[in-house]
Amino acid sequence: MMHRLQRRRYFTAVCGSLSCIVWTSTRSCFSGRPAYMQLHAAYFMMHNISQQGGCAGRSEFLPGEETSFSRESDEVQLRAELECLTKRLDIAHEVIRELLGLVDKKRYSSELAALDKNFVGGVGLVVTSTAAELEKALQTPGSRIILAENHHYVLGTRGPIVISHTNISIWGNKSTIEGSIQLSHHATLDACDVTFKGLKDTSDEYDEDGVDWKSTSMLPCIEATQRSRVYLHNCSLIGGRDGVYLGIESKAQLKNVYISDCARGIYEGVGCRVYLSECMMAGNFFHLVLLGRGRKATAAALSATNSSDETNEEVGISVRFLDTSDVGKKRTRADIALDHNPITDTYAEFIHRGKKIELPQKLSTCSLSDPVY
């Protein structure tokens, strides 16, 4: 039996960066016609396609077609990169979980539990109606806490509630938290519409003009150390040793915050920074103790703001100082102190109502018992 060899011929047409190979055959759909007629027909088809904007012998785009093609190419590339990155993250998660499986779980059970909660994002949204529920939520990494409306929470512990290595947010609903919160090791607290109140350890009902008055609490309302962050909006801090204490390169950003009846409204430690906007401080021994970088420039801007009722936009700080708080007691000795000896708890370099002042030794201390602060 004889087999007839079927000859094929082809030519290439270009469409942008793509090549279209067109084959012709001696046994094509144009039956009964010689090869040169088939090539002519193929050429006619390609020419017809080029007239309609398809593959042609020239690399040209219709108006707007090049931009559309470029966008589609970019989108395809981004989708591919995203898919690749997602796969790599999934692999990394599996590696971490396998490594955790090799750890002695009995010995490090609490650490592993905290790590697992932090790894998966904590418990998410938490609605609290009791102080016990609030304490548990504050100590759970990644919690987003919603307080009951106009509720008063008294934290059971006499010491501070410690938040470490995680982010906590509180939606206050105009409620009050009585107690102390301590942030450390890169922790973050973001709160709005809540009043933080210091624990009442010492009564101050019989003081006169703050001369013999001691802080109602030996703990700050909020303490942030070791590169932690505090963000407060529409909040109040009342009756703590400090409204906000910042130490070891920590920062705070306060907007529309009221701080009153504290020994020190805000304590800005060395290497720390506080940013204020539309805030008010009333009835504190010292509204601000500034030890951070550029403290003299900050103090000058704050003094100018209070004397002229204008905000210094360059520094970005706005706060009003009042000597008397809402409870009617005039306790303020100075608006700002720029120096502090933590061993003797003695303050110096005072500014009040935009002017430098001197205070007698009796009024230059808050008589705090903890020398660390």
The three state secondary structure string of 245-302 is: EECCCCEEEEECCEEECCCEEEEECCCCEEEEECEEEECCCEEEEECCCCHHHHHHHH
* 60 in a structural domain: no
* 75 in a structural domain: no
* 112 in a structural domain: no
Q: Looking at the structure, do residues 127 and 245 belong to the same domain, yes or no?
A: yes
* 354 in a structural domain: yes
How does pLDDT run across 24-33, given as a tens digit for each residue?
444 444 444 4
Q: Which of 17, 33, 51 is the C-terminal boundary of a domain?
A: 51
Q: Looking at the structure, do residues 15 and 126 belong to the same domain, yes or no?
A: no
Q: Looking at the structure, do residues 139 and 40 belong to the same domain, yes or no?
A: no
How does pLDDT run across 52-62, given as a tens digit for each residue?
444 444 445 55
User: Which pLDDT belongs to residue 331?
Assistant: 82
Q: What are phi and psi of 331, to 5 degrees?
A: -110, -20
Percent of the chain residues past pLDDT 70, beyond the cut: 64
Question: How confident is the model over 114-131, as a mean pLDDT?
Answer: 69
CA separation for the pair 333, 350 (Å, rounded): 9
Q: Looking at the structure, do residues 128 and 43 belong to the same domain, yes or no?
A: no
Q: Looking at the structure, do residues 197 and 284 belong to the same domain, yes or no?
A: yes
Question: How confident is the model over 230-238, as a mean pLDDT?
Answer: 97
Q: Looking at the structure, do residues 41 and 146 belong to the same domain, yes or no?
A: no
Q: Looking at the structure, do residues 45 and 141 belong to the same domain, yes or no?
A: no
Average pLDDT over all residues of the chain = 76
* 371 in a structural domain: no
pLDDT bracket for residue 123 (50, 70, 90): low
User: Which pLDDT belongs to residue 91?
Assistant: 79
Quickly count: other Cβ atoms within 10 Å of residue 196's Cβ.
27
How does pLDDT run across 283-335, given as a tens digit for each residue?
999 999 999 888 999 998 888 777 654 444 444 558 999 988 877 667 899 99
pTM above 0.75, yes or no: no
Q: Looking at the structure, do residues 144 and 24 belong to the same domain, yes or no?
A: no
* 46 in a structural domain: yes
Q: Looking at the structure, do residues 27 and 170 belong to the same domain, yes or no?
A: no
Q: Looking at the structure, do residues 42 and 183 belong to the same domain, yes or no?
A: no
CA separation for the pair 163, 170 (Å, rounded): 13
* 372 in a structural domain: no
Enclosing H/E stretch for 167: strand 167-178
Q: Looking at the structure, do residues 180 and 278 belong to the same domain, yes or no?
A: yes
Give me the helices (H) in the chain, please. Answer: 35-51, 65-101, 109-119, 131-138, 295-308
Domain, as residue range, for 46: 8-51
pLDDT bracket for residue 68 (50, 70, 90): low
How many domains in the chain? 2
Q: Looking at the structure, do residues 153 and 237 belong to the same domain, yes or no?
A: yes
pLDDT bracket for residue 125 (50, 70, 90): confident
* 3 in a structural domain: no
CA pseudo-torsion sign 156, 160, 166, 172: positive
User: Which pLDDT belongs to residue 218?
Assistant: 81
User: Which pLDDT belongs to residue 4?
Assistant: 45
